[in-house]
C-alpha cells in the first residue's frame, strides 16, 4: 500500500464529509464533527418489505462521549442496510443495531465504533432563538440564504450537481430542489410507467440521484430546501400530473380522487414510510436546510372544500419527520402569500411565492413576524416582456432590503443558466457577506432616508399587490415623494361582471402631479369570456379597451393611457366587461424624483440600495441621502457597484443638524449603488 496516497485520500474524504475513513485497515474510523459517518450491514433471516417500517423497523443506536444514546433509522440500499449519522461531540462513539426494538447481531457490520474529531464545520442550520428573522448554524454563525430554485433539470440546464458547481462559483448558498418524477428524482414514481415500483417499494435509482445532489451541495457550499411533494401530483386542475400518478385507480393504484391523498389511510401510511426513508438517508447532511412538505398545495383545487384535511396532513407529516430526524432539520411548506392557514400550524419558517410587475415594491413591503420568512419563488408577472437581466438585478437587490431572514429566491433557473446571469448573484452575495451581513447584528427595521436629488423627474412604476382575491381597499394615495404606493388589498385580476362581488367599485388613484404627467395602465392576460377595462380621470372617461369573448385566454398587448396636467387628480380603474383582465404594472411618467432608495437599519448601521429610475443608465443623477436614525459618533458609507460586483471608494457621512448626509455623485448613479453606513 502507498501510505502517503492512502492518507491523502483519507484527508480529502474527511474534508468533503463523505464517509468514515480509517488511517489503516482495522483501525477505528475517524469522522470530523458534523461530518458523515456511514456503516452498512445485513440482517439474519430478513423477511418482508425492507422499505416498510411495519415489517422492518431497523434502527441504529449511537452512544457518544457524553453517554447520550441517539436512535437513528437505518435504510435499505438494495443489497445492504446502511446508516448515516453526523456526530455532534468530539470523542468515541459506539453503535448497536435493533430490529423491532430488539437488539440483534447484524452480519458484515462495517464499523461498530468510530472516533469524532474536531472540525471547523459550522454544523446544522436552525432558527436563531434570540432574533426571529435570522437563521444560525450550530456554532452560532449566521446563515443568510441567497440562491435560486433548481426544481428539476432538462436539456437547457444540465444535471443538478453541475448546476451546483456553477452556483458555488457564483457564491450562492441556497437551492430548492423538487422530488419530481419526470427527471427521475421521485422515490415512488418513475418517468417510465412500466418501471414504477410496487406499492410500498421505493426507487433506488432516484435515491442515488439525491445522494449525488447532496454530495454536490456539500462540495459547493449549497444548502438544499428539499421539496417532497408538489401540487401537480394530486390535481387535475393546475399543472396536473394526476393522469400519470401511480396512486390513481386509473393507473392500477388505490385513490379514486387526487385529493383523497390527504385522507386515505393507506396513502398517509405510505407517505410516512417514505418520509422516514428520506430522513434516514439524507438527514445526516448539514447541507439539508429543510424539508418542504408541499409546493403550493393551495393549487390543488379539489381540496379547497375540505382544506382542513390538508392542514391536518401537514401537521401529521411534520410530526413524522421530527420524530425520525435526529438532526432536527427545519420543516416548512410553500404557498402564494403570507397569512395562509399553513403559516399558522407551527412549521419552522414561512415560504411565500410572488410574481409581480413591481418586484421592488413587493420586497420593500415584505417583513417577517415571530418566525423566519423569505420568498421561496419570485419572478415577473409577464415572462414574455419581463424576463430580463435588469428584472433579475432589481429583484435581487430589492430582496436584500426586505426585513426577512433571507433574500428572495429566483424561480427561473432555466433562464439563468443559458443566459449566464451568474454575475448578478455573485455581486449580491459578495455585498451581503462583505458589507451587508454582520454577525450578531441587532435586528433592523425599515429606514426612510430623506432624498435631495438633481435631474429631471423620473417614472414611478408600481403594481397591484394581490393575486386572485377580493378588493379590500379601493383608494390609493400616490405620493409625489417617490415612494411606491401601498397596493396591498388590490388584486392583479381586475374583475368584470362575472365576479362583481370581488370588485364592486373602481380602484381610484389619488395623484398630485408636480408637472404634466402621463398615466399608463398595462394590460396583461384577458379571460376568454372577454373584458372591458376603463380608465376615468376626475370622473370623465379617459381611456378604454374592449376584448370580446374568444376560445381561450389571450394577451391583451395594449395599455390604457391618459395625459395629466399639473396638479391634483383622481384616476379610477374599472372593468365593465364580462370577466377579468390582469394589470401587471402601472406607470406614472415624470412624476417622482429621479433617484429612489430602499434602506433598513438600526442605531448603529444602515444598509441601502439607491437606484436611478431610468434603468437604461443614460441619464445620470445626483442624490444626497439624509439619515436621522443613527446615533452619536462618526460614520462612513462603504459603497458597492451592484453591476460589477466591486467595492467603491468610501464616502464620509457628514453631520448636518440631527442627521447624517451621504452624497452620491452622478457617476455612481448612472444605474444603482448599494452601501452600508456604519460607525467608524
Three state DSSP letters for 320-353? HHHHHCCCCCEEECCECCCCCHHHHCCCCEECEE
391 and 509 in a common domain = no
602 and 581 in a common domain = no
**Helix, strand, coil: what percent of the chain each, to 5?**
25, 30, 45
pLDDT of residue 339: 61
Distance CA(184)–CA(533), nearest Å, equals 46
Total number of domains constituting the chain: 4
- Contact between 625 and 610 under an 8 Å Cβ cutoff? The reply is yes
pLDDT of residue 1: 35
pLDDT of residue 25: 56
CATH assignment at residue 638: 2.60.40.1180
Distances (CA, A) of 247 to 205, 234, 256, 315, 360: 20, 9, 9, 22, 42
173 and 244 in a common domain = yes
pLDDT of residue 480: 81
546 and 562 in a common domain = yes
428 and 497 in a common domain = no
Count CB-CB contacts under 10 A for residue 424.
23
604 and 502 in a common domain = no
Q: Is residue 138 part of a domain?
A: no
For 483, residues 6+ apart whose C-beta sits below 8 A from its C-beta are 448, 596
- Contact between 486 and 475 under an 8 Å Cβ cutoff? The reply is no
Domain end (from 536, 558, 592): 592
245 and 204 in a common domain = yes
- Contact between 168 and 161 under an 8 Å Cβ cutoff? The reply is no
Residue with cell 457518544: 64
- Contact between 233 and 303 under an 8 Å Cβ cutoff? The reply is no
Rounded to 5 degrees, φ, ψ at 659 are: -135, 170
CATH assignment at residue 526: 2.60.120.260
Domain end (from 592, 623, 656): 592
**Host domain of residue 627:** 445-450+595-679
605 and 556 in a common domain = no
- Contact between 612 and 671 under an 8 Å Cβ cutoff? The reply is yes
pLDDT of residue 166: 98
Q: Is residue 125 part of a domain?
A: no
Q: Is residue 127 part of a domain?
A: no
The total number of residues shown for the chain amounts to 680
Q: Provide the 3-class DSSP secondary structure of residue 656.
A: strand
Q: Is residue 135 part of a domain?
A: no
pLDDT digits (tens, 9 = 90+) for 510-533: 999 999 999 999 999 999 999 999
552 and 636 in a common domain = no
For the chain, percent of residues with pLDDT exceeding 70: 96
pLDDT digits (tens, 9 = 90+) for 103-119: 999 999 999 999 999 99
CATH assignment at residue 31: 2.60.40.10
pLDDT of residue 427: 98
Q: Is residue 136 part of a domain?
A: no
398 and 496 in a common domain = no
197 and 282 in a common domain = yes
Distance CA(261)–CA(309), nearest Å, equals 10
Helix or strand holding residue 313 (H, E):
helix 307-324
Q: Is residue 133 part of a domain?
A: no
pLDDT of residue 67: 96
Residues of the chain with pLDDT under 50: 1-19, 21-23
- Contact between 321 and 279 under an 8 Å Cβ cutoff? The reply is yes
Domain end (from 541, 560, 592): 592
pLDDT of residue 156: 87
C-alpha cell at 487: 397596493
Q: Is residue 139 part of a domain?
A: no
pLDDT of residue 399: 98
277 and 159 in a common domain = yes
Q: Is residue 131 part of a domain?
A: no
Amino acid at each position: 500500500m502507498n501510505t502517503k496516497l492512502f492518507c491523502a485520500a483519507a484527508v480529502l474524504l474527511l474534508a468533503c464529509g463523505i464517509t468514515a475513513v480509517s488511517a489503516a485497515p482495522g483501525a477505528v474510523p475517524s469522522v470530523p464533527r458534523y461530518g458523515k459517518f456511514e456503516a452498512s450491514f445485513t440482517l439474519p433471516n430478513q423477511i418482508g418489505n425492507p422499505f416498510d417500517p411495519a415489517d422492518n423497523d431497523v434502527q441504529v443506536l449511537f452512544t457518544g462521549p457524553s453517554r447520550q444514546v441517539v436512535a437513528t433509522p437505518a435504510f435499505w440500499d438494495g443489497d445492504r442496510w446502511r446508516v448515516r449519522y453526523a456526530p455532534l461531540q468530539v470523542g468515541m462513539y459506539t453503535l448497536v443495531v435493533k430490529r423491532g426494538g430488539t437488539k440483534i447481531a447484524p452480519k458484515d457490520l462495517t464499523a461498530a465504533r468510530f472516533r469524532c474529531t474536531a472540525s471547523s464545520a459550522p454544523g446544522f442550520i436552525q432558527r436563531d432563538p434570540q432574533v426571529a428573522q435570522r437563521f444560525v448554524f450550530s456554532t452560532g454563525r449566521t446563515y443568510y440564504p441567497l440562491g435560486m430554485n433548481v426544481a428539476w433539470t432538462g436539456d437547457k440546464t444540465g444535471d443538478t450537481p453541475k448546476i451546483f458547481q456553477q452556483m458555488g462559483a457564483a457564491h450562492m448558498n441556497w437551492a430548492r430542489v423538487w422530488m419530481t418524477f419526470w427527471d427521475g428524482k421521485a422515490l415512488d414514481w418513475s418517468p417510465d410507467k412500466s418501471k414504477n415500483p410496487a406499492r410500498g417499494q421505493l426507487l433506488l435509482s432516484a435515491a442515488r440521484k439525491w445522494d449525488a445532489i447532496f454530495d454536490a451541495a456539500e462540495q459547493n457550499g449549497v444548502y438544499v430546501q428539499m421539496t417532497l411533494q408538489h401540487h401537480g401530483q394530486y390535481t387535475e386542475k393546475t399543472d396536473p400530473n394526476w393522469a400519470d400518478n401511480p396512486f390513481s385507480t386509473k393507473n392500477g393504484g388505490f385513490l379514486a380522487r387526487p385529493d383523497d391523498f390527504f385522507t386515505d389511510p393507506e396513502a398517509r401510511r405510505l407517505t410516512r414510510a417514505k418520509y422516514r426513508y428520506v430522513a434516514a438517508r439524507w438527514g445526516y447532511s448539514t447541507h439539508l436546510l429543510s424539508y418542504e412538505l408541499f409546493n403550493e398545495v393551495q393549487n390543488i383545487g379539489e381540496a379547497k372544500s375540505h382544506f382542513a384535511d390538508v392542514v391536518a396532513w401537514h401537521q401529521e407529516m411534520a410530526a413524522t419527520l421530527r420524530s425520525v430526524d435526529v438532526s432536527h432539520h427545519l420543516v416548512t411548506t410553500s404557498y402564494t402569500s403570507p397569512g395562509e392557514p399553513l403559516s399558522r400550524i407551527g412549521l419552522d419558517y414561512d415560504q411565500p411565492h410572488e410574481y409581480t410587475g413591481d418586484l421592488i415594491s413587493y420586497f420593500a413591503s415584505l417583513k417577517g413576524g415571530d418566525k423566519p420568512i423569505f420568498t421561496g419563488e419570485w419572478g415577473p408577472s409577464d415572462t414574455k416582456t419581463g424576463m430580463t437581466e435588469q428584472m433579475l438585478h432589481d429583484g435581487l437587490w430589492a430582496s436584500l432590503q426586505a426585513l426577512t431572514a433571507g433574500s428572495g429566491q429566483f424561480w427561473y433557473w432555466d433562464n439563468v443558466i443559458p443566459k449566464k446571469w451568474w454575475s448578478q448573484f455573485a455581486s449580491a452575495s459578495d455585498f451581503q457577506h462583505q458589507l451587508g451581513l454582520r454577525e450578531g447584528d441587532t435586528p433592523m427595521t425599515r429606514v426612510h432616508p430623506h432624498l435631495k436629488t438633481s435631474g429631471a423627474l423620473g417614472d414611478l412604476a408600481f403594481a397591484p399587490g394581490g393575486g386572485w382575491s377580493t378588493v379590500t381597499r379601493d383608494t390609493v394615495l400616490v405620493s409625489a415623494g417617490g415612494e411606491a404606493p401601498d397596493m396591498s388589498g388590490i388584486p392583479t385580476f381586475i374583475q368584470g361582471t362575472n365576479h362583481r362581488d370581488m370588485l364592486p367599485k373602481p380602484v381610484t388613484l389619488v395623484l398630485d402631479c408636480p408637472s404634466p404627467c402621463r398615466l399608463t395602465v398595462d394590460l396583461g392576460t384577458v379571460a376568454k369570456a372577454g373584458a372591458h377595462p376603463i380608465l376615468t380621470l376626475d370622473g370623465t372617461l379617459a381611456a378604454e379597451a374592449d376584448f370580446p369573448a374568444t376560445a381561450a385566454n389571450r394577451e391583451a398587448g395594449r395599455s390604457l393611457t391618459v395625459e395629466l396636467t399639473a396638479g391634483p387628480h383622481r384616476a379610477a380603474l374599472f372593468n365593465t366587461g364580462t370577466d377579468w383582465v390582469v394589470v401587471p404594472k402601472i406607470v406614472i411618467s415624470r412624476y417622482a424624483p429621479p433617484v429612489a432608495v430602499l434602506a433598513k437599519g438600526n442605531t448603529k448601521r444602515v444598509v441601502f440600495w439607491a437606484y436611478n429610475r431610468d434603468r437604461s443608465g443614460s441619464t445620470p443623477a445626483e442624490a444626497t441621502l439624509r439619515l436621522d436614525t443613527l446615533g452619536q459618533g462618526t460614520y462612513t458609507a462603504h459603497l458597492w457597484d451592484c453591476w460589477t460586483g466591486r467595492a467603491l471608494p468610501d464616502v464620509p457621512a457628514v453631520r448636518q443638524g440631527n442627521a447624517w448626509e451621504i452624497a452620491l455623485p452622478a457617476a455612481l448613479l448612472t444605474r444603482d449603488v448599494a452601501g452600508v453606513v456604519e460607525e467608524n
